[in-house]
Amino acid sequence: MFTSVDAALAEAAFGADAARWPLPAAVTPRQRWLRAVAAGGQGRYASARAELAPLYRRAGRDGSLACSTQASFLRQLGWHEAARPWDGRALALAGPDPEASADALIGLAADALGVGRFAASARALARAAGRVDDAGELRLRVRQSWVTAELAMARGQGSAAVGHAEQAVEHATAYGSARHSVKSAVVLAAARCSAGDLDGARAVADAALDDTQRLGMVPLQWALACLLTDIGSAHHSTHATAALRDDCAETVRRRGGVWSVR
């Protein structure tokens, strides 16, 4: 049976209440995972890792999701190679659980993509596809679309990337998660940029930047500020977006994140 704490943490992690802080204290494994996801979305990595730490060695779904989440935090900070063992452990712990194993495989695809192993990334996505179908979770379809779009971008397939990113936006809207919707907008802006549609990329990125500021999503705010510093914003000067980028990076450091120097 879910409690009011479960509901509050789920709404912060995967619903509309992404800006909530402080969060209710977590007691159960599920609550710890939800609290970690919500804290990580705000760039509060030290708090998130503290919630996940008791879960890493648990068998089955709880341990698997915790390891996948730790891997995602590492990727957000640029540590794709370091994320890979965590996703591998997540897959080993997942067992027959389709959601946990799909999460791990999508993570492995993102890890491989981040170090230029495009064929390995495609294989992991292919392995994940059936498990995503079995799980029937929109959250997984959003993540699958993100990584598929990013792989297309890396391969220079801009039009295909836009199509997959638009699918992510559709799935995220149906899912109802503010964080997934904003991240999908980040991917769509990057995809449009890769396809040569800079005006379209700016429009999406500027709107998403407003959302990240309203919702306290510091890591995604940093990503958008980086993009807009490169391509220009319709509403902010390059100096302003560069300053915002640097402020977000420093906030992440204060909250326990360690950026990759690669």
pLDDT band at 262 (very low <50, low <70, confident <90, very high): low
Domain tally, the chain: 3
User: Any idea what the CATH number is for the domain that residue 126 is in?
Assistant: 1.25.40
Q: Give yes or no: residues 63 and 95 share one domain.
A: yes
**Token reading at 99:** 């959601």
Per-residue confidence (pLDDT) for residue 2, from 0 to 100: 61
Q: Which residue range forms the structural domain that includes residue 220?
A: 212-257
Mean pLDDT of 128-146: 98
Tell me the chain's radius of gyration from C-alpha atoms: 17
Q: Give yes or no: residues 33 and 125 share one domain.
A: yes
Contact 195, 158 (CB under 8 A): yes
Per-residue confidence (pLDDT) for residue 153, from 0 to 100: 98
Q: Give yes or no: residues 69 and 92 share one domain.
A: yes
Q: Among candidates 14, 16, 55, 248, which has minimal Cα distance to 143? A: 14
Q: Give yes or no: residues 124 and 142 share one domain.
A: no
209-242 residue pLDDT tens: 999 999 999 999 999 999 999 999 999 999 999 9
Task: Flag whether 48 is in a domain.
Answer: yes
Contact 133, 145 (CB under 8 A): no
Q: Is the pLDDT of residue 245 over 70?
A: yes
Distance CA 238, CA 244 (A): 10
Q: Give yes or no: residues 114 and 34 share one domain.
A: yes
Q: Give yes or no: residues 34 and 107 share one domain.
A: yes
Task: Flag whether 10 is in a domain.
Answer: no
SS (H, E, C) the chain: CCCHHHHHHHHHHHCCCCCCCCCCCCCCHHHHHHHHHHHHHCCCHHHHHHHHHHHCCCCCHHHHHHHHHHHHHHHHCCCHHHHHHHHHHHHHHHCCCHHHHHHHHHHHHHHHHHCCCHHHHHHHHHHHHHHHHHHCCHHHHHHHHHHHHHHHHHCCCHHHHHHHHHHHHHHHHHHCCHHHHHHHHHHHHHHHHHCCCHHHHHHHHHHHHHHHHHHCCHHHHHHHHHHHHHHCCCCCCHHHHHHHHHHHHHHHHHCCCCCCCC
Mean pLDDT of 6-14: 97
Phi and psi angles of residue 24, each rounded to the nearest 5 degrees, phi first:
-60, 150
Contact 246, 213 (CB under 8 A): no
Task: Flag whether 21 is in a domain.
Answer: no
Q: Give yes or no: residues 114 and 196 share one domain.
A: no
- pTM score, whole prediction: 0.97
150-177 residue pLDDT tens: 999 999 999 999 999 999 999 999 999 9
Positive or negative torsion for Cα 129, 130, 135, 138 = positive
pLDDT band at 34 (very low <50, low <70, confident <90, very high): very high
47-101 residue pLDDT tens: 999 999 999 989 999 999 999 999 999 999 999 999 999 999 999 999 999 999 9
Q: Which of 93, 114, 136 is the last residue of a domain?
A: 136
177-194 residue pLDDT tens: 999 999 999 999 999 999
Task: Flag whether 207 is in a domain.
Answer: no
Per-residue confidence (pLDDT) for residue 3, from 0 to 100: 80
Contact 168, 188 (CB under 8 A): yes
